[in-house]
Amino acid sequence: MLKTILSISGKPGLYKLISQGKNMLIVESISADKKRLPAYGNEKIISLADIAMYTDDAEVPLGEVLDSIKAKENGAVASIDPKKATSDDLRQYMTEILPDYDRDRVYVTDIKKLITWYNTLVTNGIDLFKSEESAEEASVEE
23 and 86 part of one domain: no
pLDDT at 112 over 50: yes
58 and 113 part of one domain: yes
Q: Is residue 90 part of a domain?
A: yes
pLDDT of residue 21: 82
Alpha helices in the chain (DSSP H): 62-73, 87-97, 108-123, 132-141
Could you tell me the pLDDT band of residue 139, with boundaries at 50, 70 and 90?
very low
The model's pLDDT over 12-56, given as tens digits with 9 standing for 90+, comes to 889 999 999 888 999 999 987 889 999 988 899 999 999 999 999
Q: Is residue 26 part of a domain?
A: yes
Q: Based on the structure, what is the number of domains in the chain?
A: 2
104 and 126 part of one domain: yes
| Cβ proximity of 38 and 30 under 8 Å | no
| Cβ proximity of 78 and 126 under 8 Å | no
Q: Is residue 81 part of a domain?
A: yes
- Domain with 23, as residue range(s), is 2-48
pLDDT of residue 131: 53
The model's pLDDT over 49-93, given as tens digits with 9 standing for 90+, comes to 999 999 999 999 999 999 999 999 888 888 899 999 999 999 999
Sequence-ordered list of residues with C-beta below 8 angstroms from that of 97, at least 6 positions apart, any chain: 65, 68, 69, 72
